[in-house]
Amino acid sequence: MDTKSRKINLILRYFRGSKRYFLCAVAASLATTALNAVTPQIFRFSIDEVLGGSGYPYLREHLWVLALMVVGVAALSGLSMFVSRICTAQAGENFAKNMRDSLFAHVQRLPMRWHDQNQTGDIIQRCTSDVEVIRNFVVTQFLEVFRTIFLVGISFVMMVSMNRRLALLVLLFVPVVAGYSAFFYQLIARLFTRADEAEGELSTVVQENATGVRVVRAFGRERFEMDRFREKNETFARMWIRLGTLSGLYWGVGDLITGLQVVAVVVLGAVEAVHGNMSVGEFVAFASYNTVLVWPVRGLGRILSDMSKAGVSFERVDYIIRGQEERYQEERCQEKQHQEKRCQEKRYQEKRCQEEEHQEKQDQERRQEFPQRMDIVFSHVSFAYERGKKVLDDISFSIPQGQTFGILGGTGSGKSTIVQLLTRLYEWEENDPQAAGGSITIGGMDIRGLPLEWLRRNVATVLQEPFLYSRTIRENIAAFAPDTAMEEIRKAAQTACMDEAILNFADGYDTLVGERGVTLSGGQRQRVAIARMLLQKAPVMIFDDSLSAVDSETDFLIRKALKERRGEATIILISHRITTLMGADEKSG
């Protein structure tokens, strides 16, 4: 599919539920244009027929009737413009909302490799600023295109009816304006691409500095970060200064051309009126049409400029959309697209479509064969994040269900890679040059054949650097099970040896932890994450060096509590500290 077709499909896809508002906005805008075209005719009639003629004595004696007509037309025009703006706002916000929802959901399903290759700040930029640029053009400027075309058509017809030679003169200026606008369009498009990328880099610096503020302060890197930000900010400002200069040049040249057009019409129109080729009323009406026509045609440059920006933003957003989702989502995404298409064609069936999708999901889960046991086997597994740099090379081991398995190794030895492969955060294939193959099975079934939702629901992980939401401790522990009773939350916290520490806080379990859990110590964050994982009640629990920030005594107490509570659960302890693995049934290093 070519780029143009992809853009059209994207627009139609995200216009779901907004088409009627957009069509209403178009109709109201055209009505406004048509009403505005009536006013010059009222002026012409008033001058030629009422004031300059012998007819219509009543109107000559009651000029307020003509004024009332002008006011009435203006009122109707204002009303239709009001309706147009309301419908435009509704269509635009629905369009942007659909696009943001879709992008966010898609980013959630993109594999870790994709996230490794893209900066967080740039992703945010694409999902916010670029979406707004697209919304502005698709709804606002695209509507302006319809209005301008209609205005040119109706104004030109009126002008031709009054004086063909002057109408031809006005028509000659249109390709001149369109030509130089297209020239500037190309320049602005290239420069805007670079400016948008510079904004993404600037957002990345701010995001990294905000999330890593403790590291910046701890190592005294404030000056370095300020210099880094200043450099990116100067580049960003320089790009937009150049864009502003280019836009100023464009508008300056445009003002010159449109000024010449107005002067030419006034001078030649006056000559035509003096020689009797047109009446005074026609001259005034013609000049009015010319004035009305100048600015929409002049605005074609702005539309083309916004089109260039929207084209760049479309490419940046489409880059995210083209990202291949994790494989378990392929069938669901295809089904979702079919569902959306049916719902677009028959909106009244939308609820039924959602029910069918939910039923299909349930039927698929019932048909899916899942492992009966949770025995884990790594068989000759090799993996490399980058070609030629193997992190794991021909690794084999087995973990029977219900055992505690310890993995010991130094930094960079591939301990965390084992977790990421087991949970399929990274995919590997035998013919993939990034990895040399092998297999991982659970209960004798290759995990690549298991749905990712099932796999990650049954294999829970606590990372060395756990992520906490900027919410209360209770909400963080129950993040993935919000309906959990407080008693269960406390039991999980007690197992993680965090209950007593939480109760010592002024607000207890309602204590806000701050962004990324910044108000808690490293050990406390790890223990909250452990409690959160315990509520998941997964048959496989992985601790990826997640006890590294707690002291040896707390480490022992947590492992003891886990042993008492685990039941048939399989526990994988990954650590560089030997004491953490002392209670493991089996160890590997």
pLDDT in tens, 243-295: 888 878 877 887 788 788 888 888 888 888 888 888 888 888 888 888 777 77
> What SS3 class is residue 411?
coil
**CA nearest to 298, candidates 286, 290, 287, 307:** 290
pLDDT in tens, 483-533: 888 888 888 888 888 888 888 888 888 888 876 666 787 778 888 888 888
Most confident segment among 77-81, 163-167, 205-209, 554-558: 77-81
What is the spatial distance between Cα 17 and Cα 20, in angstroms, rounded to a whole number? 7
Going by pLDDT thresholds of 50, 70 and 90, the confidence category of residue 219 is low
Position 209 scores a pLDDT of 78
Q: Count Cβ atoms within 10 A of the Cβ of residue 255 and give its class: 0-12 exposed, 13-18 middle, 19 or more buried.
A: exposed
* 415 has a pLDDT exceeding 60: yes
Q: Which of 227-231, 332-336, 348-352, 361-365 has the lowest mean pLDDT?
A: 332-336
What is the spatial distance between Cα 479 and Cα 539, in angstroms, rounded to a whole number? 19
Q: Count Cβ atoms within 10 A of the Cβ of residue 511 and give its class: 0-12 exposed, 13-18 middle, 19 or more buried.
A: middle
* 335 has a pLDDT exceeding 50: no
Q: Any idea what DSSP says for residue 325?
A: P
> What SS3 class is residue 347?
helix
CB 50 within 8 A of CB 60: yes
Provide mean pLDDT across the span 355-383: 69
Tokens matching residue 557: 């107490």
CA distances, 129 to each of 109, 117, 123, 307, 440 (Å): 21, 20, 10, 15, 42
Position 76 scores a pLDDT of 92
* 462 has a pLDDT exceeding 70: yes
Provide mean pLDDT across the span 119-147: 82
Position 524 scores a pLDDT of 83
Hey, what long-range contacts does 555-563 have (CB within 8 A, 24 or more apart)?
555/579, 555/580, 557/497, 558/495, 558/496, 558/497, 558/527, 558/530, 559/583, 561/494, 561/495, 561/496, 561/497, 562/495, 563/404
Q: If you classify domain 376-588 with CATH, what class do you get?
A: alpha beta
* 400 has a pLDDT exceeding 50: yes
* CATH value of 3-323 in 1.10.1750.10, 3.60.20.10, 3.50.50.60, 1.20.1560.10: 1.20.1560.10
Q: Any idea what DSSP says for residue 391?
A: E
* 144 has a pLDDT exceeding 60: yes
H/E stretch holding 399 reads strand 389-399
Distance spanning both ends of the chain, measured CA to CA: 50
Position 338 scores a pLDDT of 46
Q: Where are the alpha helices (DSSP H) in 430-551?
A: 452-458, 473-477, 486-495, 499-503, 522-536
Mean pLDDT for all residues in the chain: 78
> What SS3 class is residue 504?
coil
Provide mean pLDDT across the span 16-35: 86
- Phi, psi at residue 406, to the nearest 5°? -105, 140
For residue 239, the one-letter residue type is M
Q: Which of 4-13, 126-135, 228-237, 456-465 has the lowest mean pLDDT?
A: 4-13
Going by pLDDT thresholds of 50, 70 and 90, the confidence category of residue 218 is low
Q: Which residues, in sequence order, are CB contacts of 319 under 8 Å at separation 6+?
A: 126
Position 53 scores a pLDDT of 66
∠ CA(296), CA(299), CA(301), 5° rounding?
Answer: 145
**CA nearest to 120, candidates 132, 109, 130, 107:** 107
| DSSP letter for each residue of 205-273 | HHHHHHHTHHHHHHTT-HHHHHHHHHHHHHHHHHHHHHHHHHHHHHHHHHHHHHHHHHHHHHHHHHHHH
Q: Which residues, in sequence order, are CB contacts of 518 under 8 Å at separation 6+?
A: 214
* 14 has a pLDDT exceeding 70: yes
